[in-house]
Amino acid sequence: MPRVYVYVVKYDFGFAPNPFHGTCTLACCMPVIRRGAKINDWIIGMGGRDLNATGRCIYAMQVTSAMTFDEYWNHEAYIRKRPRRNGSRVAMVGDNIYRHDPQGERWLQENSIHSRPDGSQDPLNTAHDVSEDRVLLSRNFIYFGRSAPVVPPDVIASVGYRNGRGHRVFSMEDSAVFLDWIIGQSDGEMNRVVGDPFQLRQGDRRFSREKNRLI
């Protein structure tokens, strides 16, 4: 049976997840979820204190396919997800940033949110992201971003979820009320970006894993 993964979204640039260009992708961060989630599983990102969005649902995506980083990089449909740091706000936060060098020996990292301030490769972010060589993709998602609705207390209580570190995994049966409520917020229309990411205007910054903060 499919499962439901729930976690707190600490940063919401439109990078992880990246809900743009018709497909919601989780390519960076959350390697444990990327390792464990299977096709048809759901991933739900909740807001927390860092976004001043505790109790609000940032997004929900059903995993409809998965790829390696090299497959993702080379797939014609996802070239638009490669970041362009001198492009639009959406282009800046592209998450298609990893592939092997031509010899297949070393990971290359595109200039992105996870690179160093000068655009060069950040080894710590690279090691963390590629620790699971798997990109999750969804063509059945709803991304609320700044329009994230507040989840009613009784809906949260129905699944037994509380914000915390890491992630929680629930059965579809236990999550039925929660998922039905989220899908109901989209009026039945999926594959939608309802609002901009909370931090879209900060997409020109970098995340330093060494300092554990934006720089």
Reported as a single tens digit per residue, the pLDDT across 91-100 is 999 999 999 9
Mean pLDDT value across residues 96-108: 96
Tokens for 105? 């020996």
Tokens for 102? 């031509």
Cβ atoms of 62 and 88 within 8 Å: the answer is: no
Give the chain as a DSSP string: --EEEEEE-S--SSSSSB--TT-EEE-SS-HHHHHH--TT-EEEEE--GGGT-TTBEEEEEE--EEE-HHHHHH-GGGGGGS--TTS-HHHHT----EEE-TTSSSEEE-SSTTS-TTS---HHHHHHHTTS--EEEESSEEE-GGGPPBPPHHHHHHHT----SSEEEEEHHHHHHHHHHHHHTTTT--SEE-S--TTGGGTTS-EETTTTEE-
Model confidence at 11, pLDDT cuts 50, 70, 90, reads: very high
Structural domain including 73 reads 3-214
| Domain total in the chain | 1
Of 126, 135, 131, whose CA–CA distance to 209 is shortest? 126
Q: How far apart are CA 112 and CA 120, in angstroms?
A: 9
pLDDT at 187: 82
pLDDT at 165: 81
pLDDT at 15: 98
pLDDT in tens, 144-202: 999 999 999 999 999 999 888 889 999 999 999 999 999 999 887 999 999 999 999 99
pLDDT at 188: 76
Q: What percent of the chain has pLDDT over 70?
A: 100
pLDDT at 170: 97
Mean pLDDT value across residues 95-115: 97
Q: Among 78-82, 106-110, 138-142, 159-163, whose mean pLDDT is lowest?
A: 159-163
Cβ atoms of 96 and 67 within 8 Å: the answer is: no
